[in-house]
Structure 1
Amino acid sequence: MTLQDKKPPFQDLYLCFCGRSICQPDHSIGPAAHPNYVLHYILEGKGEYRINNHVYSLSAGQGFLMKPNIMSSYKADHTTPWKYLWIGFDGSYAKKLLSQIGLSSRTLTFSANCGDKLLEVINRMLECDADGISYHLYLQTQLYVFFYHLSQVLSVESNKLHSGQQNYYIRMAEEFVEKYYAQNIHVQDIADYVGICRSHLTTLFQDNLQMSPSEYITHFRLTRAHEQLAISNFSIGKIAEICGYQDSLVFSRAFKKMTGMTPTQYRRIRQEEYHLSIEKIRKKK
């Protein structure tokens, strides 16, 4: 069961859709990308969430965040398929709100013991029979109540997570690459930004991420290229430029080395899968 509506008259934070599902064994969605944030919370059972070559095994009492325009997929367990609720949202305040309650690009999964409360909110949204501005105001109120319940547990858990996260220098380096990957950056630029020598930075990357800073830049750029090839109609040359490659041939060679396919081949396959997955979602709703 789902609820979907046109974009409401709010800009800072607004509901896009919400719903709840009881999945069949091995039921999967994706790989696909959404234009807005989508947060899933598992009420019963278990399954897997896949994003950026990472696989998260999750069960009741846990959840996962899908960021806008980022390819990901999720699948119910074969023996104990999950039952979950989801809520799609966006707005100028959305990213900051998520950060404040402990969710970010590095913290996409969470645990929260407020499933009953979250389900009550979703049910109220789905059962709302108001119309006009009253309808939008009611949904807006429930959206904030939803995040209020999450904030009561996630704000505490995120502090615990951050206290044991990767080396501070690694986090700074990752932030630098995420911000400037489209530019002609080099390893020395990262070292200068972090404030340590290049050799020390390389050692930290090898010890913590099992790759060099140069390899990390390449991996990050090509991951972004995966997304652009799947969800945009930009030319290969334009995508190369967007992802920090000045030469489209160099980009194509790097992409094929990583995936075993040319950018054109990858685009054709992923866009076919994307359209099929969207069609599945529409049929399920």
Structure 2
Amino acid sequence: MEKGEAEFYFHEADRLFKEEHFLEALQYLAALDNEFPGNFNILFPIVLCCERLGRIDEAYEHCSRLFEQFPSENHQEKLQNLYGRICRQQQARMRSNEAITTATPAHEFVKDTPKHVELKRTGAISLGNWDLPLANVIIGLSIFAVFFVLLSLLIPMVHNEISEDQPHIQYSGFALMLLIQFMLACIIAYAALWVMNKRIHEELIYDVIDVCIAIIIFMLISAFVPLIGFFVGIYFLARHYEMGFWEAIIFLFLQVIFHMLFLYVMLPLVFGEGALNLIELL
């Protein structure tokens, strides 16, 4: 199966599931399963379709096999609720001798494409081997633009307050530092994850919030144990994006590289050496 055809099958199955055409969705998923057997992201929606079609015995068998086939904590957690629901329906059917179908939230359909299939996402632009979501790129560039406009206003303001020795300098300085931290969060969330070819969330704000949480953890712990705080923040992100040990190590080094590039190359390049001196002073 060509990658374009596999992509079409997967998106059609997702669309048909949301439109409650479960039999048609199941047919597309079965075709994908024949081409790419043993893939959780295909098998899990198959169980959902069987459940919605009232094929409870078939769904139960599929779910039981998935428990044995995918022992990882992540997969087991996704299967627990579904398995419990299917068991309850099976017991209810045995009591009432008729099939009962429980509504399944549309968002429960697994949207991750099979990991060993190279699929291009719709609404994406290609950059080398990566497909970048176009909407996220536009939002990211917009944040860059807003950031540099605000930074160009804040830096002169803080400079003037320092030279005039005004008492409320701390407020402008604090706003400047928060802005820089937010921008670093955006850079880490997108640049580092794209470099590692990890799947990014559908909306930019979720990734930024995740990274901001990691930065807050880092800052709080670093106030007492500087080195440990950095590793705890990185560990939070590594767990969140399901990275392995070596991926987490690479991710850690990427943080350092992007921080250094931003603070010591981009800021002085755009705003001059005075911007870097100002940040060090704050």
State whether TM-score is above 0.5: no
- Structure having the higher Rg: 2
Higher percent of residues as strand: 1
User: Normalized against structure 2, the TM-score is what?
Assistant: 0.22
Higher percent of residues as helix: 2
Query: Higher relative contact order by CA 8 Å / sep ≥ 6: 1 or 2?
Result: 1
User: Normalized against structure 1, the TM-score is what?
Assistant: 0.22
